[in-house]
């Protein structure tokens, strides 16, 4: 992928620091650089560069205004002589912008907004909106998000990570808690992808089961390992949906669970014990380290030691994989960072007018992130994993073939 370098001349820096449009100037500069980088990637050559792989030539640019939450940006969109260049920047950026604006407009029209929300909507778009305008925008946006959410999964996804975030929505004339269930996968070619989303009123085993069944209907297959917290319904749903897969209990959640049961004055000692156990090279060594180091804490923090002992094997299940893949799969931090990004974008709303608007905004943000991940740099190479899986299958075959010879014949 083309590397983007953004530089600012003295006049631009002065405008950023001293002018009225600091953030707009920065974003405008960055997005124009992205447009030029997209054109370079499309043509296979920088401006004026002579290469054997060049696929065309630039032909000036045209001005395009893009309305964002921080103001209107004037962008210079490059053209090529054949007219084949099409940027994905506006489509990606405006999809999430439309989702946010549409939700704000719904809040205004349904009478559940504040003056501040109406002010934001007007500032974003320069005018107020009729119900028909809201309906038209919503319909078009729903089509885009639905197409992403229902796309067929044509690859294998050996690794899954699942987590949930809490939202507030209006439901049956009251503000209620709702949950966005999110599933991320690592594909056979080592790319991160966001596979599924479900907005449920509660995080239950049934809601997770429904989401996993939807993913299987879209051809999700060959899941080798899934990482999640120890929510009983989620764990059960994963084991039911993907029999034989390794379930790894998120180590970050596990450590918090143990420390919650540990007296405050013993936290440092318990953290050392957790580090020794969780950073072992194998489950056998993890258990050994726990037994060797836990005696001193057993009497002072018996509940914490019990939680640690009962959950250690699940929290170290990832050690079955080649070492290369363990660090990033031992926790759900990847999904939690994704949730933090969504939080920053949806916090202006605070309370969604209905469940559909929550699905629309979160779905649009996830679709945007999915495109960035799936078309960006590969997360890791998968050769070692497939070698490991082939070896495991070979070992299983040998074990099955050796079973008859190990049986003792009984006399008739």
Q: Using one digit for the tens of pLDDT, what is the confidence trace for 341-398? A: 888 877 777 888 888 888 988 888 898 889 889 888 899 999 999 999 999 888 878 7
Contact 347, 128 (CB under 8 A): no
Percent of the chain with pLDDT over 90: 48
Res 408: pLDDT: 43
Model confidence pLDDT, tens digit, residues 39-56? 888 898 888 888 888 889
The answer to which of 167-176, 200-209, 222-231, 248-257 has the lowest mean pLDDT is: 167-176
* 409 pLDDT higher than 80: no
Question: Average pLDDT in the 316-340 region?
Answer: 96
Model confidence pLDDT, tens digit, residues 312-322? 999 999 999 99
CB atoms within 10 A of CB 155: 16
Contact 196, 211 (CB under 8 A): yes
| Long-range CB contact pairs, 238-242, < 8 A, 24+ | 238/160, 238/162, 238/208, 238/212, 240/209, 240/212, 241/209, 241/212, 241/213, 241/215, 241/216, 242/160, 242/212
Res 13: pLDDT: 46
Res 186: pLDDT: 97
* 17 pLDDT higher than 50: no
Kindly list the distances between the CA atom of residue 19 and the CA atoms of 15, 26, 120, in Å, as whole numbers in the listed order. Answer: 5, 12, 22
C-alpha–C-alpha distance, residues 138 and 20, integer Å: 33
Model confidence pLDDT, tens digit, residues 152-205? 999 999 999 999 999 999 888 889 999 999 999 999 999 999 999 999 999 999
Tokens 């699940």 sit at which residue?
Answer: 314
C-alpha–C-alpha distance, residues 11 and 32, integer Å: 17
C-alpha–C-alpha distance, residues 199 and 169, integer Å: 10
* 299 pLDDT higher than 70: yes
C-alpha–C-alpha distance, residues 175 and 180, integer Å: 16
CB atoms within 10 A of CB 148: 18
C-alpha closest to that of 156 among 380, 393, 386, 319: 386
Which alpha helices (H) appear in 129-250, and where do they start and end?
131-149, 205-217, 232-241
Res 385: pLDDT: 96
Question: Average pLDDT in the 66-91 region?
Answer: 76
Res 242: pLDDT: 96
| Confidence band for 137, pLDDT divided at 50, 70 and 90 | low
Percent of the chain with pLDDT over 70: 77
For 321, list phi and psi in degrees, rounded to 5: -85, 165
| Confidence band for 412, pLDDT divided at 50, 70 and 90 | very low
C-alpha closest to that of 71 among 134, 123, 4, 119: 123
| Confidence band for 280, pLDDT divided at 50, 70 and 90 | very high
HSE (CB half, 13 Å, CA atoms) of 69? 17
Res 118: pLDDT: 52
Res 250: pLDDT: 97
Q: Determine the Cα angle at 313 with ends 310 and 318, to 5°.
A: 145
Res 211: pLDDT: 98
* 275 pLDDT higher than 70: yes
DSSP label of 327: H
Contact 246, 225 (CB under 8 A): yes
Contact 184, 156 (CB under 8 A): no
Sheet with 192-200, edge to edge strand ranges: 192-200, 174-186, 159-171, 225-228, 246-249
Contact 21, 36 (CB under 8 A): no
Average pLDDT of the chain is 82
Contact 191, 378 (CB under 8 A): yes
Classified as helix, coil or strand, 166 is strand
CB atoms within 10 A of CB 156: 18
DSSP result, 251-308? HHHHHHHHHHTS-GGGHHHHHHHHHHHHT-SSHHHHHHHHHHHSHHHHTTSHHHHHHH
For β-strands 246-249 and 225-228, DSSP reports them as: parallel
| Long-range CB contact pairs, 117-122, < 8 A, 24+ | 117/348, 117/349, 120/348
């Amino acid at each position: 992928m083309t590397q983007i370098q953004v530089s600012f001349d003295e006049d631009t820096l002065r405008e950023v620091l001293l002018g009225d449009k600091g953030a707009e100037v920065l974003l405008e500069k960055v997005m124009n650089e992205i447009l030029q980088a997209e054109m370079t990637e499309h043509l296979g050559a920088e401006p004026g560069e002579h290469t054997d792989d060049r696929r065309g030539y630039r032909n000036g640019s045209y001005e395009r205004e893009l309305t964002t939450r921080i103001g209107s940006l004037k962008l210079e969109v490059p053209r090529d002589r054949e007219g084949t260049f099409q940027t994905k920047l506006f489509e990606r950026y405006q999809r999430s912008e439309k989702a946010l604006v549409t939700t704000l407009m719904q809040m205004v029209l349904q009478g559940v907004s504040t003056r501040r929300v109406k002010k934001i909507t007007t500032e974003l778009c320069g005018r107020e909106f009729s119900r028909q305008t809201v309906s038209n925008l919503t319909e078009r946006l729903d089509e885009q998000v639905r197409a992403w959410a229902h796309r067929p999964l044509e690859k294998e996804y050996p690794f899954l990570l699942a987590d949930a975030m809490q939202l507030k929505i209006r439901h049956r004339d009251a503000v209620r808690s709702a949950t966005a269930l999110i599933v991320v996968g690592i594909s056979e070619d080592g790319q991160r992808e966001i596979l599924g989303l479900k907005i449920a009123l509660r995080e239950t085993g049934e809601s997770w089961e429904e989401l996993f069944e939807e993913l299987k209907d879209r051809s999700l297959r060959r899941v080798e390992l899934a990482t999640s917290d120890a929510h009983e319904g989620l764990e059960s749903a994963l084991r039911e949906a993907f029999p034989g897969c390794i379930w790894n209990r998120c180590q970050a959640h596990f450590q918090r669970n143990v420390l919650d049961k540990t007296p405050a004055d013993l936290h440092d000692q318990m953290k050392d014990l957790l580090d020794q156990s969780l950073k072992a090279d194998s489950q056998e060594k993890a258990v050994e380290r726990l037994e060797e180091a836990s005696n001193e804490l057993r009497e002072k923090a018996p509940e914490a030691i019990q939680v640690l002992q009962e959950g250690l094997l699940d929290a170290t299940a990832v050690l079955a994989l080649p070492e290369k893949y363990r660090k990033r799969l031992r926790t759900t931090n990847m999904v939690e960072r994704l949730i933090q990004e969504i939080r920053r974008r949806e916090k202006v709303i605070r309370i969604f007018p209905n469940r559909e608007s929550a699905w629309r905004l979160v779905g649009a943000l996830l679709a945007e992130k999915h495109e960035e991940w799936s078309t960006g740099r590969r997360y890791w190479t998968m050769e070692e994993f497939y070698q490991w899986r082939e070896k495991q299958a070979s070992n299983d075959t040998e074990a099955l073939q050796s079973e008859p010879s190990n049986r003792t014949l009984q006399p008739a």
